[in-house]
Amino acid sequence: MTTPERRTFAIISHPDAGKTTLTEKLLLAGGAIHLAGEVKARGANRRARSDWMKIEQQRGISVTSSVMTFERPQADGSIITFNLLDTPGHEDFSEDTYRTLTAVDSAVMVIDAAKGIEPQTLKLFEVCRLRSVPIITFVNKVDREGRNPFELLDEVADKLALDVCPMSWPVGMGGEFEGIYDFATNRLFQPHGPSREFDDSFQQFAGLDDPKLAAALSAHGLAKLRDEAELAQGGYASFDLNAYRHGDLTPVYFGSALKRFGVGELIEALARYAPPPRPQPAEPAPVEPERGDVTGFIFKVQANMDPQHRDRIAFMRLCSGRFKRGMKLTPSGTGKPMAVHSPILFFAQDREIADEAFPGDIIGIPNHGTLRVGDSLSEKADVRFTGLPNFAPEILRRIALKDPTKTKQLRKALDDLSEEGVIQVFYPEIGSQWIIGVVGQLQLEVLISRLEAEYKVEAVLEPAPFDTARWLSGEARKLDDFSGINRSNMAKDRDGNPVFLARSAWDVGYQSERNPDIAFSATKER
Ligand code: G4P
């Protein structure tokens, strides 16, 4: 049997650009109904039957939206399965977000037509670029007044240093919106009825100079479309599959998630152009999805929200082989084989206990803390996936206990939460106060509330005299010398690696210039 087709992707965007709305419309279009409420409404029996739901109920956690799956039949009768991985959509984000992007083969970048590229879009894009993740751009909300499409395309090209290729074009925006013209198929999709929604109908034309277009659009709309389309097609790169798959070119679709414009074309583009499971960086050699035995890595761990239990779900991206329930896999962390009896798979119509999964699929593995983010799992214990980084924190705080007798509980909690990627923790060489590092303010709030709720530890955060941190590597003797001189800036991370706590970015630059034999890294791989 050939391996079933998979497209494993994430949506990256700045809050409010329309990620949630687009996700819903993708799932609805793909026939996955659990977001639409139907499953909930008639699902009481099914929920009782499904072991997975039981897990979800008992543990009080919701992984519902971590992985969403939908399917689409192909012309030849085969089915493509889409695995959409959720990236938490806060203004602030944690390493969780970054790491989820290591588990996808491509991404859809949603931008608001009125706002263009916003700060978080840019940050997430940079993470995609690190791994050359190919990006399809969706310019959303064309049903509202937006910026000129050329200006938007130029901004994507300039800010992201990417070639852009418009694949469709909006005929006006906001009050003047008359539809979307798809360049590849010469189809025109138009708003209908009082809701001005897309109703799945379209008109087929022979091309942009087809005289029949005059009957479909206003004279102004038609003239504008013809002018703009000519400029758009002449002025930007033409679509090149290789350039897209290398992350050098982004095809751009215009649409409105709310009114369902462009959603079908986006699915079509993912099916046609987005890469199937890609080889994954690993040692001793990259793992090809065609490899026969099962391998995968943990990119996310979701701990129990219920303080009575300490179970967690580890999310594994399957990189090769055909996974079967009950299979024994060896995690790189412990080196001890474990049988995966109750894996969770995420199906389009329902989520059930998995019997089988294929490269590109995500499997939830319930465990008691044996599996950690960054762990590689394999049948033969012979692979270590690389490139799951920790990122240098942008905010550092000292953590202090209100009740000093709770040191042990605090240490345990900090270890757990750093394992989950909620925070990073550094243990300074001098002094007894631990330092917490995060990339976004929200993580600090999450930390304090989870410490109280789950660990019954009350803690306060105080300013730390440091601004950022760098992982050090180099010859042991050089590292020792450096640590000796800079003891008050030295700490260990939770794995015992040496870390330089810097007072400023300037400090990092200064020290790395003075110590050319030591590498100061802003990321650390497990
Ligand atoms: P996010 O997940 O990226 O944060 O965005 P979300 O989908 O929640 O959308 C943010 C707001 O933008 C929502 O409005 C949503 O309805 C609106 N929106 C999303 N796509 C479109 C679109 O194509 N056209 C228009 N006109 N609006 C769109 P809200 O008022 O904040 O929320 P709600 O009360 O409508 O849910």
Per-residue model confidence as pLDDT tens digits over 407-457: 999 998 998 888 777 788 999 999 878 999 987 777 788 788 888 888 899
Residue from 258, 260, 263 to probe ligand 1 pocket by mutation (most atoms less than 8 Å from CB): 258
Cα–Cα distance measured from residue 207 to residue 303, given in angstroms and rounded to the nearest whole number = 54
The DSSP bridge pattern shows strands 79-85 and 5-13 to be parallel
pLDDT at 48: 32
Furthest-apart CA pair in the chain: how many Å? Answer: 82
Which of ligand 1's atoms lies nearest the C-alpha of 21?
A: 7
31 vs 25: CA distance, rounded Å: 10
As a whole number of angstroms, the distance between CA 220 and CA 46 comes to 54
* Domains of the chain and CATH, by start: 6-272 (3.40.50.300), 282-385 (3.40.50.300), 389-525 (3.30.70.3280)
Pair type for strands 328-331 and 338-339: antiparallel
Ligand 1 atom at shortest distance from the alpha carbon of 110: 3
Q: Is 17 in the pocket of ligand 1 (CB under 6 A)?
A: yes
Nearest CA to ligand 1 atom 28: 258
Q: Is 51 in the pocket of ligand 1 (CB under 6 A)?
A: no
Q: Which H or E element spans position 514?
A: helix 505-514
DSSP state of 4: P
Q: Is 16 annotated as a binding residue?
A: yes
Burial class (CB within 10 angstroms; exposed 0-12, middle 13-18, buried 19+) of 193: exposed
- Annotation-wise, does 20 bind a ligand? yes
Q: Could you identify the atom of ligand 1 that is nearest to the CA of residue 23?
A: 7
- Ligand 1 midpoint to CA 143 (Å): 12
**Beta strand residue intervals within 150-192, DSSP E:** 163-166, 168-171, 179-182, 187-189
Query: How far, in Å, is the centroid of ligand 1 from the Cα of 279?
Result: 35
User: Could you report the per-residue pLDDT of 21-64, keeping only the tens digit for each?
Assistant: 898 888 888 765 443 333 333 333 333 333 334 434 443 333 44
**Residue whose CA is closest, atom 15 of ligand 1?**
18
**Does ipTM surpass 0.90 in this model?**
yes
Centroid of ligand 1 to alpha carbon of 114 (angstroms): 13
pLDDT of residue 421: 72
Residue 140 annotated in ligand binding:
yes
CA angle, 446 then 451 then 456, to 5° = 150
Residue 463 counted as an annotated binding residue = no
Instruction: Tell me, in angstroms, the distance from the centre of ligand 1 to residue 46's CA.
Output: 32
pLDDT at 348: 45
CB contact burial 377-391 (16+ within 10 A = b; e otherwise): bbbeeebbbbebbbb
Cα gap 276→280, rounded to integer Å: 12
- CB of 13 shorter than 6 A to ligand 1: yes
Contact (CB, 8 A) for 518 and 478: yes
15 Cβ closer than 6 Å to some ligand 1 atom: yes
**Nearest protein CA to atom 11 of ligand 1, as residue:** 16
For 463-493, letters b (16+ CB in 10 Å) and e give ebebbbbbbbeeeeeebeebbeebeebbbeb
CA distance 417 to 395: 16
pLDDT of residue 525: 64
Cα-to-centroid distance, 13 and ligand 1 (Å):
12
- Taking 50 as the pLDDT cut, the residues of the chain under it are 1, 33-64, 305-306, 348-352
Burial level of 313, CB count in 10 A (0-12/13-18/19+)? Answer: buried
Give me the pLDDT at residue 162, please: 95
Q: What is the per-residue pLDDT across 140-149, written as a single tens digit (0 to 9) for each?
A: 999 999 999 9
Indicate which residue's Cα is closest to atom 30 of ligand 1: 16
